[in-house]
Amino acid sequence: MTETKPITYAWAINHAIDEEMERDPAVFLMGQDVGRMGGVFGLTRGLFDKYGAERVRDVSIVEHLVVGGAVGAAMGGLRPIAEVQFADFLLLAGDESFHKMAKWRYMHGGRLSVPMVVRAPCGIQGGVGAEHSQSPEGHYWHTPGVKIAVPSNPADAKGLLKSAIRDDNPVIYFENRRLYRNKGVVSPDPDLLVPFGRGTVARPGSDVTVVAWSAMVPAALEAAEVLEREEISVEIIDPRTLVPFDMETVAASVRKTSRLLVLHEASLTAGPGAEIAARAADELFELLDAPVKRLAGADIPIPQNMALEPFCFPQTDEIVSAVRDLAKW
C-alpha cells in the first residue's frame, strides 16, 4: 500500500483491517452485513472479495452472538474483529462484554488470553434517534479487564486499530460516526502503530488545558482558533485511549496552564469526564488556579429530529464560552 494522500477516517479503518488480515491469518472479521455489503456504513468494502467468507463472516443481528462468538474464537487462538453496528447495542451483549470478554483471562489465572477487538460506532449523527446515538465509553471504563480506544483523526484511527488487533487483551474501539468523512494524511507503513496509554498534544497552548477525545477534538481545535483571536491560548490534550489513560500528559499540561476543562460527547452526569476531573482534583490540586470544569452532552435521550441534535452535545460556541470563563480565573 503506497497511498500517501489524505484519506478519510472510515477508509483508514478499512486499511487497518486489511493490513492486519494480510499480516496475520488468525485475524478475521465478523459482524452484521460486513461481507458483500461492506458493513452498514460501508467501512469493510472490498474485504470479502479479497479474503472470502471464511475470514469475513456475516452474522445475524444478535449482538450477544457477535461478541460471544468473538470471545470463543479469541480463546481458541484466533484474533477476531467484531463489529457491532451501533455502540448502543453493546449492552445487549452485556454478559459477553462485561463478564466473558473482560473477566475470563483473569478468572482462568492467565492460562488463556482474549485477543479481540469490538468495533463500536458511536456518536450523534444523522437523526437515528435515542437508541442509536449514544457514546457509552463510560460504561466500559467502569469495567476492569477491557482496553478502550477513542481515535479522533484518520492517522490515529488506523494506528490505534492496528495496535488493538495485535494486543493480547480485549479492546473496545469506539469510532465516532461523525468523523467518518474527515480526512487526514495517514502513513502507508503497515507496521506503524499508535501505542495505547500515550496521549498527544493536539494543539500546544499556555492558558487553559482542554482534555477531549473522539469527535470533540476537532470541535476543540475549532474553538481554539476562535479563542486565539482573543489572545487566549488553549492546549488540547487527546488521550487517544481511555484505558489505559495517560494522566502524565494531562498533568504536564496543567502544570503549564493551571486550568482544566474536560470535554466529551457522552452525557454529563456520571460521564467519563467525571473520572478525569476527580483525578485532577485529587492529584493535581496544587497546580490548579481554578476549579476543574466539565462540558459534556445533555442528560437527555437524543432526539430523532436532526435540527435538535446539535443541542445535545457541546458546540464550538459553548466550548469557547467555557474556556473563556476559565481563563478569567
Query: Rounded to whole angstroms, how far apart are CA atoms 37 and 264?
Result: 32
Catalytic site includes residue 132? yes
Average confidence (pLDDT) over 265-293: 97
Give which of 303, 290, 298, 292 is closest to 318, Cα–Cα.
298
Same fold, 7-184 and 200-327: yes
- Cα 179 from Cα 113, distance rounded (Å): 32
pLDDT band, residue 2 (cuts 50/70/90):
low
**What tens digit of pLDDT does each residue of 30-64 get?**
999 998 888 889 899 999 999 999 999 999 888 99
- Of the residues 15, 19, 20, 132, only one is catalytic, namely 132
Give CA–CA dist 192/158, Å, rounded: 9
Report pLDDT digits (tens) over 254-274. 999 999 999 999 999 999 999
pLDDT tier at 1 (50, 70, 90 boundaries)? very low
Whose cell is 452485556? That residue is: 94
Type of residue numbered 38: G
Report, at the CATH architecture level, how domain 7-184 is classified: 3-Layer(aba) Sandwich (3.40)
**The listed CATH number (3.40.50.920, 3.50.30.60, 3.40.50.300, 3.20.20.140) that belongs to domain 200-327:** 3.40.50.920
Tell me the C-alpha distance between 2 and 7, whole Å.
12
Give all strands of the β-sheet with 79-83 in edge-to-edge order. 56-58, 27-31, 79-83, 117-122, 171-176, 147-149, 241-243
- pLDDT for 88-119, tens place per residue? 999 999 999 999 999 999 999 989 999 999 99
What was the pLDDT predicted at 3?
55
Catalytic residue (choose from 19, 20, 63, 83): 63
Distance of CA 189 to the CA centre of its chain: 22
Q: Map out the domains of the chain as residue ranges.
A: 7-184, 200-327
Q: Which amino acid would we find at residue 62? A: V
Averaged pLDDT for residues 243-247: 98
Task: Look at residue 91 and give its three-state secondary structure.
Answer: helix
Is residue 239 scored above 90 in pLDDT?
Answer: yes
Region class of 292: left (phi > 0), else alpha (psi between -120 and 50), else beta: beta
